Structure 1
């Protein structure tokens, strides 16, 4: 038997975390099925989600080890590149970058 942790975040700042005891050679799919996740979130299509172990993407048939942390990732709502462009557009060129806050009378770049 081995101990693993299953983590899912249904919304920002909201986390479902459950510690599970599974038999040796259990897979990521076995962990989800053994958890309370399908019962707690019946409308969730967890099989279509991306899964990972300790932040690394893995397949559903990945074998787990003692102490693994299985993470289910919801899809991104906005492309990170697009979000960065929008943030830059709102802030403007003067408010962004490494040298945005210059001291009074300071040279450019310091």
Structure 2
């Protein structure tokens, strides 16, 4: 019997480059299986595909070992944040307040 395949996309954006790959996987494959079959790990050796955070169309998936992919899914591999967005906003607001205070004096 012929195995039914579906196409999914795997995307990753490193600091210096990005990749978008289309991969055919068997129906019922999990996210992690699709990641391994895509070969993205060879293109970005720094990725730990067994534990890296991933999502589908911008929604983080809690258990990629269990979640099956559907035809047309876009699997996104996320990098860790370099800075906490809340802290960056707080620093920017403090700087703007200090500049406003300096202008008023």
**Which TM-score bucket, shorter chain as reference?**
0.7 to 0.9
Matches within 5 A, 1:24-63: 24-58=27-61, 59-61=63-65, 62-63=67-68
Q: Which has the larger radius of gyration?
A: 1
Contact between 2:32 and 2:49, CA under 8 Å: does it hold in 1? no
Query: Aligned-residue CA RMSD in angstroms?
Result: 1.8
- Counting matched residue pairs gives 94
Q: Which protein has the bigger helix share?
A: 2
- The alignment's TM-score, normalised by the length of structure 1, stands at 0.76
Gaps of 5+ in 1: 96-110
Question: Matched residues in 2 for 1:82 and 1:67: separation?
Answer: 36
Q: Deviations over 1:9-53 (max 9, x none)?
A: 1116x3211011111001111111101211112232232221111
Question: Matched residues in 2 for 1:55 and 1:4: separation?
Answer: 15
Question: Matched residues in 1 for 2:97 and 2:70: separation?
Answer: 48
